[in-house]
Amino acid sequence: MSEVLLEVKNLHKRFPIRGGILGREVAAVNAVNNVSFKINRGETLGLVGESGCGKTTLGRSILRLIEPTSGQVIFNGKDITAMNSDEMRVMRRKMQIIFQDPYASLNPRMTIGGILSEPLDIHKLFRGKEERRKRLYELLDQVQLPKDTLNKYPHEFSGGQRQRICIARALAVQPEFIVCDEPVSALDVSVQAQVVNLLMDLQKDLGLTYLFIAHDLKVVEYISTKVAVMYLGNVVETAAAAELYGNSKHPYTKALFSAIPIPDPARKSERILLEGDIPSPMNPPSGCHFHPRCWKCTEECKVEYPGITSLSGTHDFKCYNPIEKGQ
């Protein structure tokens, strides 16, 4: 039986929008709505959905880089949402994040040696200069960069190399869990594959657990053990990648996955074009937020958000009129 490393329970993040000279709350964005899932140790949960659906907000709320409005995050059996700042500092070592933009996330005035030493110094993870140097070399080796990297500055590297440096910085504190927020979206396709393969090798060698956020469904399918599909703040379907691909239950998932080109002429792919734009998260539609764009919508969809239906405990979805197999 696999061990659950991270459990997210009914997580909610609401951003108040203030206006007027008094700064009163005039509206709110429910960026993350009642989200629940589990990730087993050593596995990857892929998170997909259109821009603005709340993926980054969810990733950051899990790490408490932004405070969740309500709900729980259980890490290694401990509720981190209930921890004070001292306890959280200890916890931060175990949970790291890698960002989309490897240009913006490295200080241009620091050498790579300085950048990678920072987390080691903060958490006092070495004894003496020699041990620290050894650890820095080990980190570079893990991300396949040469030793002379240490004396150089971020501008001397390509996007892919900078992302490797960001990965090394995340690994410095020996984390168990990493939120990868679109780590390859800003890179060339050929470099994307190298970085994704590096992340997968590191996962195997170090037993890491990932939440992998991406736009590119092909990348997500490749790297993920399970995939969660998000729409306007809600996770609408979760299942193994192949199951989602072949047996989507939620119409939104079906539409999203139908957009992937299939290189096999024997497999016919019918592309589903969704009508209408993504509604504003400030004023989402009633009931199931997807109903105005859904071709299977019935009256009940407009009234109340559907609860979770679970197929054999491994495939969950929120829909009143799920897609039948072969439909």
Ligand X SMILES: Nc1ncnc2c1ncn2[C@@H]1O[C@H](COP(=O)(O)OP(=O)(O)OP(=O)(O)O)[C@@H](O)[C@H]1O
Binding interface with ligand X (CB under 6 A): 15, 29, 31, 49, 51-57, 281
Residue number, 135 or 215, with CB nearest to Mg ion: 215
Q: Tell me the pairing of strands 70-75 and 4-19.
A: antiparallel
Contact call for residue 56 and Mg ion (CB under 5 A): yes
Contact call for residue 61 and Mg ion (CB under 5 A): no
- Judged by beta carbon distances under 5 to 8 A according to partner kind, the member of ligand X, Mg ion, none in contact with residue 247 is none
- Give the binding range for Mg ion (CB under 5 A) out of 51-59, 87-95, 109-117, 302-310: 51-59
How many Cα atoms within 13 Å fall on the side-chain side of residue 139? 28
Minimum distance from residue 22 beta carbon to Mg ion (Å) = 31
Which two tokens mark 301? Answer: 């969809």
Distance from C-alpha of 8 to C-alpha of 119, rounded to nearest angstrom: 27
Residue number, 29 or 179, with CB nearest to ligand X: 29
Residue number, 179 or 288, with CB nearest to Mg ion: 179
Residue number, 54 or 322, with CB nearest to ligand X: 54
Residue recorded with tokens 């490797």? 164
- Judged by beta carbon distances under 5 to 8 A according to partner kind, the member of ligand X, Mg ion, none in contact with residue 168 is none
Rounded to the nearest 10 degrees, the angle between the axes of helix 128-142 and helix 159-171 is 130
- Give the binding range for Mg ion (CB under 5 A) out of 55-63, 168-176, 204-212, 270-278: 55-63
Minimum distance from residue 41 beta carbon to ligand X (Å) = 25
Non-local CB neighbours of 310 within 8 Å, separated by 6+ positions: 316
DSSP per-residue string spanning 36-84:
EEEEETT-EEEEE-STTSSHHHHHHHHTTSS--SEEEEEETTEEGGG--
Amino acid identity at 230: M
Minimum distance from residue 57 beta carbon to Mg ion (Å) = 8
Amino acid identity at 255: A
Residue number, 51 or 190, with CB nearest to ligand X: 51
Minimum distance from residue 192 beta carbon to ligand X (Å) = 16
- Judged by beta carbon distances under 5 to 8 A according to partner kind, the member of ligand X, Mg ion, none in contact with residue 53 is ligand X
Residue number, 57 or 253, with CB nearest to Mg ion: 57
- Judged by beta carbon distances under 5 to 8 A according to partner kind, the member of Mg ion, ligand X, none in contact with residue 234 is none
Minimum distance from residue 281 beta carbon to ligand X (Å) = 4
- Angle, CA 108 vertex, CA 102 and CA 110 arms, to 5°: 115
Residue number, 190 or 283, with CB nearest to ligand X: 283
- Judged by beta carbon distances under 5 to 8 A according to partner kind, the member of ligand X, Mg ion, none in contact with residue 57 is ligand X
Minimum distance from residue 309 beta carbon to ligand X (Å) = 24
Tally: H helices and E strands in the chain: 9, 12
- Judged by beta carbon distances under 5 to 8 A according to partner kind, the member of ligand X, Mg ion, none in contact with residue 162 is none
Amino acid identity at 234: N
SS3 269: coil
Minimum distance from residue 173 beta carbon to ligand X (Å) = 24
Distance from C-alpha of 184 to C-alpha of 181, rounded to nearest angstrom: 9
Minimum distance from residue 81 beta carbon to Mg ion (Å) = 21
Distance from C-alpha of 111 to C-alpha of 93, rounded to nearest angstrom: 22
By the 10 Å C-beta count (0-12 exposed, 13-18 middle, 19+ buried), 155 is classed as: exposed
Contact call for residue 33 and Mg ion (CB under 5 A): no
Total residue length of the chain: 327
Residue number, 281 or 322, with CB nearest to ligand X: 281
Q: Could you tell me which of 65, 99, 95 has the C-alpha nearest to residue 167? A: 99
Binding residues for Mg ion, rule: CB under 5 A, are 56
